[in-house]
Amino acid sequence: MITTDALTVCDMVRGTLANTRHGNTRVKGVSIDTRSLKKGSAFFCLKGANSDGHDFAMQAVEAGASVIVADRQHATSWAACTAPVIAVDDPLTALGQLAAEYRKQFKTRYVAITGSVGKTTTKELIAAALSAKCRVYKSPGNFNNLIGIPLALLAMPPARAQESNLGVLEFGMSSVGEIRRLVEIVDPAWGVVTRIGAAHLLQLGSLDAVAAAKRELFDYARPEMTAILNADDPFQRQWLASWNRDTVTYGLDALLKPTFWADQIVTTATGVGFRVNGRHAFRLALAGEYNVPNALAAIAIGRHLGVPFGSIAQKLTRVRPVGERSRLIRQAGVTLISDCYNANPTSMLAAIDGLKRFPRAGRRIAVLGAMRELGPEEKKLHREVGHAADGLDLVITVGSDATAYRNGTADSSLEWINARDGGEGAKLLLSLLRPGDVVLFKASHAEHLEDAVAEVAERLAGATAKRSGRSVVKTRKA
């Protein structure tokens, strides 16, 4: 993590000291939250939707913050503060500036990943593929926005930064200009795009606007940055026709002649297998054929950087789901697919298609919560997803907004049940489950459907233990 002094931080963020105390105070790390602040950190007073970091500045000093970075209005009134106070125009911009200056101290080059679906999984796959050749640093968890990316860069210890040849980061966004700013902070050498879909329509208004916001990764990057594009995506094919940037393509449709393509895709109970370019066998321990394009992106950049096919294949078999993304849970003869970290129409359709292809002895069941941030088209998009559920055996919708899925189905044999919330959904599902069933859980993160997954998994484990006479240790809070 960054280690320096207050005056250097002041210079790096282009600020001014609002008081004259202890300009040589040592700084080790940064914090934006007093609850996790470590002694010696620089505390950045960020403004959020529900709170303002300036309200917690003095609490941060009491907790051991070595420096406070605040907007000029607040900073000028804190001249008596016992810690150095750095005045800036905007603390969020300053956080990004500090990260950019820290990054410049090292030779690590970065891969940036954006898209509407699969960013985190693709990040994990790319980091694994490149680790066959060199030392790789990847952003933790889903640190992917104007706060998370700077924190990810600033958290990298200097020794690790010196050792890492490559860094792999995911770029998320919910409004125009965010990816442009991330490009300024990171200066990536390679840009990877997954699939562009109907996400954040509430903020951006249209799918064209989403695509334009994603393209900022290239519009504001250096001309020499290499693009890794999904040839199956119509927006990305349009980009290819209008630029001269060095580009590598990947995709499932061999007729589009991508550089890397897949066939012989087979879903198994433990993951998915496929062949690349007609000859190279790969296997993933990830549920869903929708992860094959994510793996192709990793293969594309790995081969672009000289990693052998065999080495990439070996590394990709070791990648496991991150959080509640395509996570397989097996209890009492039932398979649960927990894919409820987030959802938009593109990822929801892919998940339902994956469920239909998943091998099973019993029924295919979907537990669906609402998709958020879709704007005026929200109900229509839910209906379209509901139509794709035709062919399943049972759908349990969770919450009143999720009932919109049902209006889209034409399959009279498909059974639909609505639950008021995740707790009721878990109880309903448990009363209906039979050995051999496969259940998909999918919703936007705001629906907290992962709690229902935990409840169902825990009850199934308890039933199995009861039959075998074993005890069960709970893994979640009540």
pLDDT tens profile 326-385: 889 999 999 999 998 889 999 999 999 999 999 988 999 999 999 998 999 899 999 999
Same domain, residue pair 128 and 254: yes
> Of 256, 189, 252, nearest to 221 (Cα)?
189
Q: Kindly state whether residues 368 and 300 are assigned to the same domain.
A: no
What's the confidence (pLDDT) of residue 462?
A: 81
Q: How many domains does the chain have?
A: 3
On whether residue 464 sits in a domain, the answer given is yes
Q: Are 261 and 252 in contact (CB under 8 A)?
A: yes
Whichever domain contains 22, its CATH number is 3.40.1390.10
What average pLDDT does range 447-452 have in this prediction? Answer: 94
Q: What angle do CA 106, 107, 110 make, to 5 degrees?
A: 105
User: pLDDT value at position 473?
Assistant: 42
DSSP 117: B
Residues 143 and 280 in one domain: yes
Q: Please tell me the predicted confidence (pLDDT) of residue 470.
A: 55
Taking the C-alpha atoms of residue 8 and residue 73, their distance in angstroms, rounded to an integer, is: 22
Say if residue 345 is in the same domain as residue 298.
Answer: no
- Answer whether residue 321 is part of any domain: no
Query: What is the domain-level CATH number for residue 182?
Result: 3.40.1190.10
412 or 76, higher pLDDT: 76
Pairing of strands 16-17, 85-88: antiparallel
Tell me, yes or no, whether 113 and 83 share the same domain.
Answer: no
The answer to whether residues 77 and 119 belong to one domain is: no
Q: Is residue 99 part of a domain?
A: no
pLDDT tier at 21, thresholds 50, 70, 90:
low
The reply to whether 275 and 132 lie within a common domain is yes
Q: Judge whether 431 lies within some domain.
A: yes
- Any idea what the CATH number is for the domain that residue 343 is in? 3.90.190.20
Q: Which two tokens stand for residue 138?
A: 């990847």
Residue 322 lies in a domain: no
Length of the chain: 478
The domain of 410 spans 327-468
Find residue 17's DSSP bridge partners: 86
Question: For 247-266, how does the pLDDT look when each residue is reduced to its tens digit (9 = 90+)?
Answer: 999 999 999 999 999 999 99
Are 144 and 286 contained in the same domain?
A: yes
Asked if residue 475 is part of any domain, the answer here is no
Helix residue ranges per DSSP H, 320-449: 345-357, 378-388, 422-432
Q: Are residues 258 and 335 in the same domain?
A: no
Q: Are residues 257 and 311 in the same domain?
A: yes
Mention every residue, 6+ apart, whose C-beta is less than 8 A from residue 275. 262, 263, 264, 281, 282
**Measured between alpha carbons, how far is 59 from 77 in angstroms, rounded to an integer?**
16
* Last residue within a domain, chosen from 22, 57, 89: 89
Report residue 397's pLDDT band, with 50, 70 and 90 as the boundaries: very high
pLDDT at residue number 474: 44
In tens, the pLDDT along 132-170 reads 999 999 988 779 999 999 999 998 877 766 777 899 999
**Has residue 162 been placed in a domain?**
yes
Mark which of 295, 316, 337 sits at the end of a domain. 316
Q: What is the Cα 167 distance to its own chain's centre?
A: 16
Whether residues 262 and 210 fall in one domain: yes
Return mean pLDDT, the chain. Answer: 92
Percent over 70 (pLDDT), the chain: 96
331 domain-assigned = yes
d(CA 376, CA 158): 47
The radius of gyration computed from the CA coordinates of the chain, to the nearest angstrom, equals 24
The first and second tokens of residue 168, run together, are 């792999």
* Residue-level pLDDT at 161: 66
Angstrom distance (rounded) from CA 87 to CA 69: 6
Claim to verify: residue 168 and residue 280 sit in the same structural domain = yes
